[in-house]
Amino acid sequence: MIDSLQLALVFLAALATALATGLGALPFLFVREMRRRWLGVSNATAAGLMIAASLTLLVEGAQVSGLRTLLGLALGWMSIRWTHGLMDGREHLSIGSLAGADARKALLVVGVMTLHSFSEGVGVGVSFGGGKELGLFISSAIAFHNIPEGLAISLVLVPRGVSVWLAAWWSVFSSLPQPLMAVPAYLFVSWFAPFLPVGFGLAAGAMFWMTFTEIIPEARADLSRTGLALAIALSTIVTILFQETVLR
């Protein structure tokens, strides 16, 4: 029987990850423009967190079934590629008072991030299938990763005339699929335990795809190669040490 308190915890954890995206807009309450270098540092740090979280999921899944975990990894990689492909060729878009190229740029950014939020929601739900500690760890990693996503959205919207609070709303909106998907994903792996390693692999595959094809290239555009490598390495090491010393 599924514990209603556990379901509430899964939903609230995923909701917190979504709300964290709005924090990325808050710096624009104090400055109208922000140096791109800080976005690069945020993205590189988030990349390290996501790598550590993905490795944790793979280890947890492999302890049950390495083959099913690898299957999930492949499915996660392919599913996130497919969802991102849905945005290709979308030219006629609008958002608030923005029009033309500005509107297309803004909605492409918001749209792509909304699509991959589905996989992040699945990641939260699946991770809770492996226990509360793992679920909270993965949720924290995704929440931290969402802050520079909100910053990236705001960097597109605010300089084009969108208010800071509306930019924060669009940032949170882009992550709303996370609480919507977390509970169904948790219920699925709870009811069908043999699929748990597949779910771990799927979540890890989606996060790996986002990390290596989006987050790291974006960080590289704003940081030197050395700075990027240092930020990712430190973030990954600190996250793993935190997990091993605090969460174990």
Of residues 88 and 64, more confidence is placed in: 64
Report d(CA 144, CA 158) in Å as an integer: 21
Q: Residue 228: which pLDDT band, with cuts at 50, 70 and 90?
A: very high
Global confidence as pTM: 0.67
Helix axes 36-62, 132-157, angle to 10 degrees: 150
Taking CA atoms, 58 is separated from 52, 53, 138, 242, in Å, by: 10, 9, 12, 18
Q: Which residues contact 239 (CB under 8 A, 6 or more apart)?
A: 48, 49, 52, 53, 141
Please answer whether residues 121 and 180 qualify as being in contact, where contact means their C-beta atoms are separated by less than 8 angstroms. Answer: yes
Provide the domain count of the chain. 1
Q: Which domain holds residue 132?
A: 4-247
- Confidence (pLDDT) at 99: 47
Residue tagged 């990712």 (tokens): 232
Report d(CA 120, CA 7) in Å as an integer: 17
The three-point CA angle 149-154-156 to 5° equals 105
b/e per residue 60-84 (b: at least 16 CB within 10 A): bbbeebeebbbbbbebbbebbeebb
Taking CA atoms, 200 is separated from 46, 61, 67, 125, 153, in Å, by: 19, 6, 12, 10, 28
Summarised one tens digit per residue, pLDDT across range 164-220 is: 898 899 889 888 888 988 999 888 888 877 888 888 888 788 878 878 887 788 889
Summarised one tens digit per residue, pLDDT across range 15-60 is: 999 999 899 888 888 876 667 787 788 788 878 887 888 888 888 8
**pLDDT above 70 as % of the chain:** 82
